[in-house]
Amino acid sequence: MKTRLLSVTSEADMQEAAKIIADGGLVAFPTETVYGLGADALNARAVGSVYDAKGRPSDNPMIVHVCRADDLKRIYDLDKLPQQNQKQIRALTENFWPGPLTIIGPRAACVPDRTTGGLETVAVRMPDSQVALDLIRQSGCPIAAPSANISGRPSPTRAKDVVADMDGRIEAIFMGGDCQVGIESTVLDMTGDTPTILRPGILTADDISDALGVPVAYDKALSQKPDGDDFKPKAPGMKYKHYAPKADMMILEGAYTDVKREIERLRREKEREGLKVGSILFEESAFREAAHDFFARLRDLDQAGVDLIIAGALSGEDQVGFAVMNRMVKSAGYNIIKV
């Protein structure tokens, strides 16, 4: 398939992209978090081709992207929730949409099994990106969009990353700028008694708790290694191999200066063995910068052909640091060494 590269400033390209989506095709587009790979969320066949293009396991549900908070009412069956939860969802959309928050609620009958991975719940978000919002509005349907990478690879935060993975596999790619946030949205389950974060992001439990005036929990699977019997993440996507660079990867955990010294020592040792070594070490407490750069750094190091990536751990005490570490440990296949 020939993939068209579209300009985000061309009205004709926007119309073309909207038509592709409305006709059941696939278009990649920028959001504030990462690039998404979009299809008509209510068209099971279109959503099926997203799984094919990504090579994604088909039980992994998609996030449905809307351009108005009101559209929630069409995608959720809100009557299935207690009044209290409905009120909280309204407060969330007022406080955080458009923005990097995905909310899980009971699905409405119009949402196909293909989109929810057969679950009785559905994930919805309104992205903070004009291109994304225009595309949803002009195609006239909510857009299901996972990250626009081949399944298992680092999420794409730059147009060139999307081209590297998706050229020839989808109808079109919007060539926008770099994503501001750099890691995917916070996924929040609003179907239970306590709002629960299933995937951490730049928007933290404290941010959400401040807005709602109630405690917000993190799914306990987020602090578990995926090999134990009691590892049962509530977001199906959290159980898959993820974000893996082509190179081997290890994480060093310890005091900043010790980690820095150990990275240099290991680099010299491994280079003597003939390996090409790359490193990722963010300044202490530069959590947002780390979120912004992490996936791009993985991709650049792969591009440079390194054999081994040595990364410095961020403090998981900070909730944004915790969100980046959630991705980093998966990229490294949980290969963490204390120094």
Decide: 103 and 76 in contact? Cβ < 8 Å: no
Q: Is the peptide bond before 142 cis (omega within 30 degrees of 0)?
A: no
Query: What residues numbered 189-208 form the site for ligand TXA, per CB under 6 A?
Result: 198-199
By the rule CB under 5 A, 85 interacts with Mg ion: no
Select the binding partner of residue 153 from Mg ion, ligand TXA, none (C-beta < 5 to 8 A, by kind).
Answer: none
Cβ atoms within 10 Å of 78's Cβ, excluding its own = 16
Cβ neighbourhood burial of 237 (10 Å; 0-12, 13-18, 19+)? buried
By the rule CB under 6 A, 321 interacts with ligand TXA: no
Determine the number of helices (DSSP H) and then strands (DSSP E) in the chain: 11, 15
Select the binding partner of residue 236 from Mg ion, ligand TXA, none (C-beta < 5 to 8 A, by kind).
Answer: ligand TXA
Q: Which of 14, 20, 31, 331 binds ligand TXA (CB under 6 A)?
A: 31
Q: Which of 122, 259, 290, 324 binds ligand TXA (CB under 6 A)?
A: 122
Decide: 102 and 128 in contact? Cβ < 8 Å: no
The set of residues, in sequence order, having a beta carbon less than 8 Å from that of 306 and lying 6+ positions away, is 247, 276, 277, 278
Query: What residues numbered 260-289 form the site for Mg ion, per CB under 5 A?
Result: none
Binding mask 131-160 for Mg ion (x = CB under 5 A): ----------------x-------------
Which window, 39-47, 236-244, 261-269, 272-280, contacts ligand TXA (CB under 6 A)?
A: 236-244
Q: Which of 129, 180, 151, 145 is nearest to 243 (CA)?
A: 151
Query: Is 116 flagged in the annotation as binding?
Result: no
Q: Kindly report the length of the chain.
A: 339
> CA 326, 170, 333: angle at the middle one, nearest 5?
20
Select the binding partner of residue 242 from ligand TXA, Mg ion, none (C-beta < 5 to 8 A, by kind).
Answer: none
By the rule CB under 6 A, 237 interacts with ligand TXA: yes
Query: What residues numbered 66-105 form the site for ligand TXA, per CB under 6 A?
Result: 102, 104
User: Least CB distance from residue 179 to Mg ion, whole Å?
Assistant: 13
Query: Is 297 flagged in the annotation as binding?
Result: no
Q: Measuring CA to CA, how many Å separate 166 from each of 27, 146, 182?
A: 10, 13, 19
Q: Is residue 238 left, alpha or beta, with left meaning phi > 0 and alpha meaning psi from -120 to 50?
A: alpha
Query: Is 279 flagged in the annotation as binding?
Result: no
Buried b (16+ CB within 10 A) or exposed e, 257-287: eebbebbeebbeebeeeeeebbbbbbeeeeb
Cβ atoms within 10 Å of 73's Cβ, excluding its own = 11
By the rule CB under 6 A, 145 interacts with ligand TXA: yes
Which window, 121-129, 260-268, 282-290, 317-325, contacts ligand TXA (CB under 6 A)?
A: 121-129
By the rule CB under 6 A, 111 interacts with ligand TXA: no
Select the binding partner of residue 123 from ligand TXA, Mg ion, none (C-beta < 5 to 8 A, by kind).
Answer: ligand TXA
Beta-bridge partners for 40: 143
User: Least CB distance from residue 146 to ligand TXA, whole Å?
Assistant: 3
Size, binding site for ligand TXA by CB under 6 A: 30
Beta-bridge partners for 197: 188, 218
Which CB sits closer to Mg ion, 3 or 185? Answer: 185
The Cβ-side half-sphere exposure at 247, using a 13 Å CA radius, reads: 24
Cβ atoms within 10 Å of 130's Cβ, excluding its own = 12
User: Least CB distance from residue 108 to ligand TXA, whole Å?
Assistant: 13
Q: Which of 40, 184, 207, 302 binds ligand TXA (CB under 6 A)?
A: 184
Q: Which residues are annotated as a binding site for ATP?
A: 56, 60, 121, 147, 155, 199, 243
Site for ligand TXA, rule CB under 6 A:
31, 33-34, 36, 60-63, 102, 104, 116, 119, 121-123, 125, 127, 145-147, 184-185, 187, 198-199, 234-238
Site for Mg ion, rule CB under 5 A:
147
Q: Which residues are annotated as a binding site for L-threonine?
A: 33, 65, 125, 145, 185
